[in-house]
Structure 1
Amino acid sequence: MDSNDKHHDICKALAEIKKLQDFIVESKTPYFGNLLARIVDADTIPFLLQTNEGFLGIMGSHEVNGEKEYFFTKFFRIESINMRSCSATISLLLPIDIHGNTTDSIDEVMILRKTSIRREIDLSGIFAIQALDTKFLKRKIIIQPKW
């Protein structure tokens, strides 16, 4: 398989994830409305993007208590895909650890929160996609007091 075929497959895989996300959100029935979205309880399929240097990571920022806080994430949501140019618009997912803090470590992520931060990326440097479980978007951090 040559490089162009591989990149076209990456584009097709991301288009498939986008199609599934849209299906969850947009499928309505006359009697139960948007039942699928309520059952799944998520409108995002989180994923990682693999480059030849490791997982793609992007910096973002958000406000915490009125102050700008920067974070680094390797977790994304597909917003749109351009099959012709093999590029995509992704939104950054904020990785949260068990203590409710942002984390850089994949191993420490308990929750992924959607953000409005979007980036346009060229998919020619992407070699693999790892879709993740939607449970990362639905978890609650419940820490009981020790005493």
Structure 2
Amino acid sequence: MIDTPRARLAQGLALAIPALLLGGAYISQYGFDLYPCEMCWWQRWPHFAALGLALLSTVIEPRKLWVALAALAIIASGAIGGFHAGVEYGWWEGITGCATTAVADGADALDAILNAPMIRCDTAPWDLFGISLAGWNFLISVGAGLTILALLMKRA
């Protein structure tokens, strides 16, 4: 049972962090045309898993276990984001052939494919203070995941 204030905070963070980061990803994609590359998608999958695990923690025992697993999934997304940021900054090589095309919904499929821009994994389409979206995912996800785990480990 989630019975301490720290454990409840950990559970709340495990629900909020992936929801907010996924929300931001979809807003940037559909609101600002920042289409995801393949590695961007890789970062989303652990957040979906974390959200599901955190939701399980609200109904199934042992609740702290589900929150801890959600925290590990959040950290996994951050680790992928750190690798992706390193590729964007040119610190190391990425996965060969890592690119995807943006598809226009509702248009002719062939025209959408032929006219879609190529989204490369080694180019940051946007940054804030010199940190790309993948870099921000690394910083936020690893920090939040470790915070959640620390909150779960403390007594009282």
Using the size of structure 2 for normalisation, the TM-score is: 0.32
Q: Which has the higher contact order (CA 8 A, sep 6+)?
A: 2
Higher strand fraction (1 or 2): 1
Normalised TM-score (structure 1): 0.33
Point out the structure with the larger helix share: 2
